Each structure stands twice: as C-alpha cells, then as structure tokens.
Amino acid sequence: MTGNRNTKHKYKTRMRRFILDVVVYTPFVKMVVLLVVLWLLFSGGLYYFERDQTGTFIATYGDALYWGVAAFSTAGIAGAPLSGGAKFLGAVWIVAGSVLFFGAIVATITTYFMRPMQRPHKKIIDTIEYNLEQLDQLDLDELDLLRETVDTLIVHVERLKERQMRDSA
C-alpha cells in the first residue's frame, strides 16, 4: 500500500512539474491568450461585415464565434461569409488562426524538450568541462584557487544530495 502511495505521489509531483514547466517556460499560455483575443476580434469583425447581409448564416456574434473556430480548425466549413469584407477577414483569420494554433503546439513541444539543455546545471557542467580542457595553461596560484573551488563545490554537492535524499524519503 505504501508503494502505491509513493507511486501516486511521484506521479502527481511529476505532473505538477510538467504543468509548471509548460506554463512558465514555454510560450503556450501567451500564444493561447493571443489566439483567443484574435479569435474574439476577428469574430467581431466578421459579424460587423455580415450583420446586414440577407441570407447569411452569421446572424449573431455567437455564429461568428462558431465560424471562427470551425474555419481554422477543420478542412471545410458549412458556409462562407457573403460580404467581401467578411470574406477577406475570414481568409486572414483562417491563415492567422491556423498558424497560431499549430505554432503554439509546435513551439510548446520544442521549448519543453529543449529546456533541459538550457538549465543552469547544464551550463555549469559545460563551463567546468571547458575549464578542464584549459588546465595545462594554469599557473600554480590558479591551480590552488581551482582546488579550493572544487573542494567547496564537492561539499556543496554532498549537502544537496543529502537534502534530496531526506526529501525523497
């Protein structure tokens, strides 16, 4: 029973970390907000151009909102706007909405999977590896300073490991 709780706790912790990473470190939220704002604006413009047209299926702002979602998310829609302004605005929305929608997905996935390469510990390790390659060029004072720094780093790493082991127990 305890093992099952630990598994559930680890799953919840990972899920929270994943959601936090997506919200904080990817453009997902910004792009969704931009998409919604543009959808509302384009739908308003579409309704403005279509409201006085006879025979239009976009008779209300709600109809325009529906058309806005259907237009950029499917291969085809039931009807097209009648007025020239609405047709132009609808075409722009189909392209812009599709680009933003699929762009948000691609940007989020790319950013999420690239994030580990941008983490500070990766940069620290890269810096240490670079400096190790330069050891032959250091004088005695620089080597002593390096030894002191490494000793401090080892103590710090051991403290972090102990804390993580305590927290995970």
The tokens for 28 are 């997902």
All structural domains of the chain with their residue ranges: 2-118, 121-168
Which pLDDT value is given to residue 48? 93
Residue 93 has pLDDT above 90, yes or no: no
Which pLDDT value is given to residue 5? 67
- If one compares 20 and 33, the residue with the highest pLDDT of the two is 33
- CA–CA gap between residue 75 and residue 86 (Å, rounded): 19
DSSP labels, 107-161: HHHHHHHHHHHHSHHHHHHHHHHHHHHTGGG--HHHHHHHHHHHHHHHHHHHHHH
- CA–CA gap between residue 134 and residue 49 (Å, rounded): 68
Collect all residues with Cβ–Cβ distance below 8 Å to 136 and sequence separation of at least 6.
Answer: none
CATH topology of domain 2-118: Helix Hairpins (1.10.287)
Q: Which candidate, 50, 68, 75, 69, places its Cα nearest to that of 60?
A: 50
Q: CB–CB of 77/71 below 8 Å? A: yes
Is the entire prediction scored with pTM above 0.85? Answer: no
Which pLDDT value is given to residue 77? 67
Which pLDDT value is given to residue 96? 84
